[in-house]
Chain A
């Protein structure tokens, strides 16, 4: 029992199956317990909001440098009943499978089992409440946790994924375990959780009865679920099952190697890990890296080690050595904005004398100029202006699409959310209407760092990480593509940057909707209320190279010459980039922060050539519009 005054921060999944491990901790004086979906619980450990987390083992592998407390886990040796692939038709007739996104472990398991059956339906991610409702015809769903308990009886075709795993491997499957980071726990914490398990296992009947009362399910069946189907052990067999899962997931490119995840008591042996050279070699080969692998690269690898690995990674994806660029124009339709981000020098508050909304005459002239210059796209972004409603955007988009043959890459997630809030509609509906009005793709701006601790400090009024990712998820679901960005160099740590990349990779696993990734450092201007750090051109090169290595499911990484300057941008092409961004006609946000570089297409191409690549123009989907030359 801990005598410490500071309560142990415990995070745990809120499903019934976790309650035998968690229930006795609920009012424990030495514990501060937070329950949530598996994904949230994993995030809390990653972002140091929890000391120990009962979370999916796949998330542990993604994060890396994680230990699992011995003796306790949530697993099954055979069918588990709460992780199911359900459908109206037999599995081999499915064209699409909706995935409940709340747990990475089950997602990976589902993919492995489908691959084992040699099936490759299209996979669609949904929040946990939605997947089940999507099942019809040739569309099945993987459902997880409590909603799955009923689903088994409702559908004619059901595959119990843990059962399928056991039939395949003869090994138990471990869904979740108590995860902790080296140094975060003391031995008495381990004892506390083991004691809780002892007590909790004895409570299974009463937990089943309580759950039955709340849900109207059969108490006997729930008790059998807790006592016969689920297993709470983490011994040698379970560890073998866990390793096998990591190995299979790694071989399929779905998981990092998992060699920096060990079953270990507090102060037990450290994860074996790999040498820096081994991590670099694996990265260059395109193997999936864990978060801790990425942090080690960032801390220990030289700029050239990172660059050479990233260049190799780029070459594997784009062996022809082509670097693309787009001819487009960035139009900031309004500078009126309600967020007042601390790093932004562009916005003006509502009612400010310098506030503007572009009128159609000005805009029309700009569009004419783009067409005349051979441009193919408008990048349309602006502030969060409360005077502009959804109708205004719809009208604008229809007008633009009716008069000019230009792609419309418009409205960052922040703007979409703002329009949705103003219109009291959900994001999906707003995106549908904008899509119908002519929206072609969504720019990835405003991501900054997708860690809320950072966002709260630099952009308090902006959307949360989950909201940003949610807009992108919704856009990807309706077939819109988007880019992704990262702005580092404010209050973020190297770890935050890695977490940012992992969140993007995670969503990309789900949707495959991101086209490309760009990053840049915070562009400081005097008067802005946040101090830059970790700026400098070598940091940029390292960061971009790391992104190429971590984002193994992104086709494209671009060099941000607009922020770094054409010279550094050119050098950055050799650090994992295959795109040189855009020939910008104007870029008001970055130039009000002092960065004002210009490049025309000819200069752009000669810089691409000088860096040893062929150049080709592209559209927003990265389709080549000119022969590489």
Chain B
């Protein structure tokens, strides 16, 4: 079965839904990984991209009640609910001006009590502090919520945020598009069509965006292929997606805590199939926060060409029991990629190259290595 798909790929033919399903179901996992690696190499050579980004989550108050979420607290005043004052949010950046990130990545709960101007001011403030920084903010789910909640059309929401400094859209909130799953795990937020519509409009306005898929819970392989097919169709139409990022479900502390997390084999399989199926996506990202740095390293040989960024302060996955560190330094990311035998390339949000690093590792005496107990990288003093 895999050999037929290899022939199709060699002829430059597009994979259909049946092929996608066959790839998910194949027992020849190494063959699948190697094939995905081949396509990644054809597109990007031995480059692996990363960036220096800063995650900011300004509020975890959320009117949606997604089963998979351990981050959101339903109401203001609920234990653990937290909304940053604008000054507090801006301070995250101000503290790091000696080595400023190139991107701020903002994702939040759907807070019913904030004025729209809060978000506009938030972005303007960041731009005031660091005019160069790229603001990749608000998932389609948030943007759809803004439109509904504040009584605006999608395009109007986007126009106003772009005026305030918005540079591009992150890919979150896609979860699983298929209604059989979506209605069970996140019925009270943007539907698949609404999510896709927000990205369509953003692409038309000239904004780039990413796409994600939350896998490894109650969905089937067929649901995953359906999800990828919908993304591919929109990409065919607009060409506006930059990266696809599969996100592994983490079960701690949420409404599906009885489910096991997907295993590493499923993580790598999903990444590899994504690379093969999403032929019109330039980038497939091994999001190290989701996979853990160790498995992310293997993923760099299974079709991924990007490992995300420094993050600095991740709270969504860590709320769901991820043991990944909440941030990595640039040197640690470079080392992680070099250890995998790839060439680290620092990019900006729009994949413009900022710095190419050598493929080989740095000399023995100054290496950064993992401290497995602390799950983070350390300097070795020799």
User: Which residues of A sit under 8 angstroms from B382, Cβ to Cβ?
Assistant: 530-531
Looking at the complex, which of B67-75, B110-118, B291-299 is the stretch in contact with chain A?
B291-299
- Known A524-B371, A531-B364, A567-B292: A307·B30 in contact at CB below 8 Å: yes
Q: In this assembly, does B42 line the interface, its C-beta being within 8 Å of a C-beta of chain A?
A: no
User: Which residues of A sit under 8 angstroms from B380, Cβ to Cβ?
Assistant: 524, 531-532
Looking at B294, B340, B365, the one whose CB has the most chain A CB atoms below 10 A away is B294
In whole angstroms, how far apart are the Cα atoms of A568 and B265 in the complex?
9
User: Which residues of A sit under 8 angstroms from B27, Cβ to Cβ?
Assistant: 612
In whole angstroms, how far apart are the Cα atoms of A524 and B297 in the complex?
18
Q: Are A304 and B30 in contact (CB under 8 A)?
A: yes
Q: Are B373 and A596 in contact (CB under 8 A)?
A: yes
User: Which residues of A sit under 8 angstroms from B34, Cβ to Cβ?
Assistant: 302, 304-305, 308
Q: In this assembly, does B263 line the interface, its C-beta being within 8 Å of a C-beta of chain A?
A: yes
Q: Are B265 and A610 in contact (CB under 8 A)?
A: yes
Q: In this assembly, does A459 line the interface, its C-beta being within 8 Å of a C-beta of chain B?
A: no
Partner of A526, one of B336, B361, B371: B371
From residue 258 to 274 of chain B, which have CB atoms closer than 8 A to chain A? Answer: 260, 263-268
Q: Are B372 and A595 in contact (CB under 8 A)?
A: yes
Q: Are A567 and B294 in contact (CB under 8 A)?
A: yes
Q: Are A535 and B263 in contact (CB under 8 A)?
A: no
Residue interface mask A298-334, B partner, CB < 8 A = 1: 0000111101100100000000000000000000000
Q: Are A526 and B264 in contact (CB under 8 A)?
A: no
Partner of A539, one of B31, B339, B367, B370: B339
Chain A residues with a Cβ closer than 8 Å to the other chain, count: 41
Q: In this assembly, does A533 line the interface, its C-beta being within 8 Å of a C-beta of chain B?
A: yes
Minimum CB–CB distance from B377 to chain A (whole Å) comes to 10
User: Which residues of A sit under 8 angstroms from B369, Cβ to Cβ?
Assistant: 524, 531-532, 535
User: Which residues of A sit under 8 angstroms from B267, Cβ to Cβ?
Assistant: 567
From residue 344 to 382 of chain B, which have CB atoms closer than 8 A to chain A? Answer: 361, 364-365, 367, 369-374, 378, 380, 382
Minimum CB–CB distance from A492 to chain B (whole Å) comes to 12
In whole angstroms, how far apart are the Cα atoms of A596 and B295 in the complex?
17
Q: In this assembly, does B157 line the interface, its C-beta being within 8 Å of a C-beta of chain A?
A: no
Q: A-B pairs with CB below 8 Å: how many?
A: 112
Q: Are B298 and A538 in contact (CB under 8 A)?
A: yes
Across the interface, name the chain B residue whose C-beta is closest to A595. Answer: B372
User: Which residues of B sit under 8 angstroms from A594, Cβ to Cβ?
Assistant: 371-374
Q: Are A571 and B367 in contact (CB under 8 A)?
A: no
In whole angstroms, how far apart are the Cα atoms of A612 and B294 in the complex?
21
Q: In this assembly, does B181 line the interface, its C-beta being within 8 Å of a C-beta of chain A?
A: no
Across the interface, name the chain B residue whose C-beta is closest to A309. Answer: B30
Q: In this assembly, does A106 line the interface, its C-beta being within 8 Å of a C-beta of chain B?
A: no
Chain B contact-residue range equals 35 or more
User: Which residues of A sit under 8 angstroms from B378, Cβ to Cβ?
Assistant: 524, 526
Q: Are A537 and B294 in contact (CB under 8 A)?
A: yes
In whole angstroms, how far apart are the Cα atoms of A496 and B367 in the complex?
21
Q: In this assembly, does A564 line the interface, its C-beta being within 8 Å of a C-beta of chain B?
A: yes
Q: In this assembly, does A607 line the interface, its C-beta being within 8 Å of a C-beta of chain B?
A: yes
Minimum CB–CB distance from B115 to chain A (whole Å) comes to 44
Q: In this assembly, does A412 line the interface, its C-beta being within 8 Å of a C-beta of chain B?
A: no
- Known A304-B34, A523-B372, A594-B372: A538·B340 in contact at CB below 8 Å: yes
Looking at B292, B301, B378, the one whose CB has the most chain A CB atoms below 10 A away is B301
In whole angstroms, how far apart are the Cα atoms of A530 and B365 in the complex?
10
Q: Are B301 and A535 in contact (CB under 8 A)?
A: no
Q: Are A536 and B263 in contact (CB under 8 A)?
A: no
Q: Are A535 and B339 in contact (CB under 8 A)?
A: yes
Partner of B297, one of A533, A536, A593, A611: A536
Partner of B37, one of A304, A591, A611: A304
Across the interface, name the chain A residue whose C-beta is closest to B36. Answer: A304
User: Which residues of A sit under 8 angstroms from B371, Cβ to Cβ?
Assistant: 524-526, 594
In whole angstroms, how far apart are the Cα atoms of A541 and B29 in the complex?
14
Q: In this assembly, does A574 line the interface, its C-beta being within 8 Å of a C-beta of chain B?
A: yes
Q: In this assembly, does A206 line the interface, its C-beta being within 8 Å of a C-beta of chain B?
A: no
Q: In this assembly, does B138 line the interface, its C-beta being within 8 Å of a C-beta of chain A?
A: no
User: Which residues of B sit under 8 angstroms from A567, Cβ to Cβ?
Assistant: 263-264, 267, 292, 294-295
In whole angstroms, how far apart are the Cα atoms of A564 and B295 in the complex?
10
Across the interface, name the chain B residue whose C-beta is closest to A563. Answer: B372
From residue 288 to 323 of chain B, which have CB atoms closer than 8 A to chain A? Answer: 292, 294-295, 297-298, 300-301
Q: In this assembly, does B241 line the interface, its C-beta being within 8 Å of a C-beta of chain A?
A: no
Residue interface mask A588-629, B partner, CB < 8 A = 1: 000101111000000100110011100000000000000000
Cross-chain pairs A/B with CB under 8 angstroms, 24 sampled: A302-B37, A304-B30, A304-B34, A307-B30, A523-B372, A524-B380, A525-B371, A531-B380, A533-B361, A535-B370, A536-B340, A537-B340, A538-B300, A564-B294, A567-B292, A575-B30, A591-B373, A593-B372, A594-B373, A595-B372, A596-B372, A607-B263, A611-B263, A612-B265
Q: Which residues of A contact B (CB under 8 A)?
A: 302-305, 307-308, 311, 523-526, 530-533, 535-539, 541, 564-568, 570-571, 574-575, 591, 593-596, 603, 606-607, 610-612
Q: List 6 additional contacts besides A302-B301, A525-B371, A595-B372; criterion CB under 8 Å.
A: A531-B380, A541-B298, A571-B268, A594-B373, A594-B374, A595-B373
